[in-house]
C-alpha cells in the first residue's frame, strides 16, 4: 500500500483541541454539524488524523435570547433555532476561522524553555515564507489560473 514506508512517528501522535463558539441560535444537532466542519480546516492545514491522534472539537452557542434564568417561573420556553438551510455561511466561517487559528498557533508561537532545560524553538517564519514562495502557494487568488481567468 502507498505511503507505508513514508509515514513514521518516533514521538507518537499529537492532538488538537478546537473550540467553536458562535452567537447564532443553533440546535444541538446543528452545533454538532458545525463542529464537524472544523475537521475540514485540520485537513486543509495538512493534518490527516493518524492513528493515535486524539482530536477533539466542541461547539457552543451563547445566543442570549435562548438563555433561561434560574428564577424563571415560566414552565415552557420557546427557543429560537436557525434553520438547516441557513447553516452554510456558518460552515464556511468555521472552516476559515479554524484554519486561521491553526496557522496562528503555529506561526505566532514563541520559543520556550521548560523543565530540565527542554527547549522548543519557534517556527522560523522567514523559512516558511521562503518554502511557500518556492512552491508558489502564497497569494493563491492571484496565481491560480481559474481565478485569473474569471477576474480579468
Tens of pLDDT along 39-88? Answer: 999 999 888 877 778 899 999 999 999 888 888 888 888 899 999 999 99
Mean pLDDT of 28-38: 97
Residue 144 has pLDDT above 60, yes or no: no
Residue 145 has pLDDT above 80, yes or no: no
pLDDT band at 133 (very low <50, low <70, confident <90, very high): confident
Using the 8-state DSSP alphabet, how is residue 84 labeled? Answer: G
Question: Is domain 1-65+79-108 classified as CATH 3.90.550.10?
Answer: no
Could you give the residue numbers annotated as active site?
A: 15, 53, 55
Question: Please, what's the b/e burial string for 83-106 (b: 16 or more CB within 10 A of its CB; e: otherwise)?
Answer: eeeebeebbeebbebbbebbeeee
Q: Where are the domains of the chain?
A: 1-65+79-108, 120-152
Using the 8-state DSSP alphabet, how is residue 26 labeled? Answer: -
More confident residue, 90 or 77: 90
pLDDT band at 152 (very low <50, low <70, confident <90, very high): low
Specify the pTM.
0.77
Helices 28-44 + 88-107 axis angle, to 10: 40
pLDDT band at 18 (very low <50, low <70, confident <90, very high): very high
Amino acid at each position: 500500500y502507498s505511503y507505508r514506508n513514508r509515514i513514521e512517528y518516533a514521538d507518537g501522535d499529537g492532538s488538537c483541541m478546537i473550540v467553536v463558539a458562535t452567537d447564532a441560535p443553533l440546535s444541538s444537532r446543528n452545533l454538532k454539524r458545525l463542529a464537524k466542519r472544523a475537521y475540514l480546516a485540520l485537513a486543509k492545514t495538512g493534518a490527516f488524523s493518524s492513528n493515535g491522534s486524539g482530536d477533539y472539537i466542541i461547539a457552543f452557542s451563547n445566543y442570549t435570547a435562548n438563555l433561561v434564568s434560574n428564577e424563571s417561573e415560566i414552565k415552557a420556553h420557546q427557543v429560537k433555532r436557525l434553520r438547516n438551510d441557513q447553516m452554510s455561511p456558518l460552515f464556511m466561517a468555521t472552516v476559515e476561522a479554524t484554519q486561521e487559528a491553526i496557522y496562528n498557533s503555529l506561526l505566532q508561537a514563541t520559543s520556550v524553555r521548560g523543565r530540565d532545560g527542554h527547549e522548543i524553538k519557534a517556527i522560523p517564519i522567514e523559512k516558511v515564507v521562503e518554502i511557500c514562495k518556492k512552491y508558489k502557494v502564497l497569494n493563491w487568488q492571484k496565481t491560480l489560473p481559474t481565478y485569473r481567468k474569471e477576474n480579468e
